[in-house]
Amino acid sequence: MSSSVQRKRVRKSPDERRAEIVEAATAVALAEGLECVTLRRIAEELDVRPGLISHYFPSVEDLVAEAFGSAATAELDRLLPEDPAGATPTRQLAAFFGHTSGPAYDAISRLWINARHLSRYREVLRDRVAEQEGAWRGRLERVIRRGVEREEFRTADPYVTTIQILVVLDGLGAHANTETHDRPAAVTRMAVATAERELGLPGGALDGPAPDSAAVPL
């Protein structure tokens, strides 16, 4: 006589289930783009019914915005942690620039390109993009202001300097969908050079060792 073992369903709390959904949507967004985040697709990823996904996210627009916000926040926390673990502002900025180049950063750059394009047509996503832009500006500006207070940096307007650095990084990131392996070193260093110049630092002050992308995954 044959017997079958019925798979035991694990009952998760609402918070755990919602986090699981967001995590799956974030992974799809980073790998394939925000357009691929649908209620049905995420249900397939988690092997559940689409109705379960819609219970937590009645509108797919909310799930798309949440997936982008989750990815962007995680990357910001990796690049500029709120608690720098004793690192000086100079060392924190050097680490930041070390991680904002190369293949590991290209994935989040592509997601920002994707989100900014889609936000023209999706109001919920547009609000989340604006929120994340503000978070990135605020985090970087705080590092710069701390450096000014410690007399490591010299700038008349930390906010303006923050914008200048992010504009250069955005400009470089806009090419994440194209081949960049032959980019001249002077171009690759544009954001670093801008920061050094605007913060009154000598050339090379914000250079650091190339990050190990395998050790710090997105």
pLDDT digits (tens, 9 = 90+) for 25-57: 999 999 999 999 999 999 999 999 999 999 999
- Determine the Cα–Cα distance for residues 194 and 200; give it in Å rounded to an integer: 10
User: 171, 150, 175: which is closest to 92 by C-alpha?
Assistant: 150
Q: Give one DSSP letter per residue of 33-96, joined into a string.
A: -GGG--HHHHHHHHTS-HHHHHHH-SSHHHHHHHHHHHHHHHHHHHHS-SS-TT--HHHHHHHH
- Determine the Cα–Cα distance for residues 27 and 37; give it in Å rounded to an integer: 9
DSSP structure class, residue 22? H
pTM: 0.84
pLDDT at 7: 47
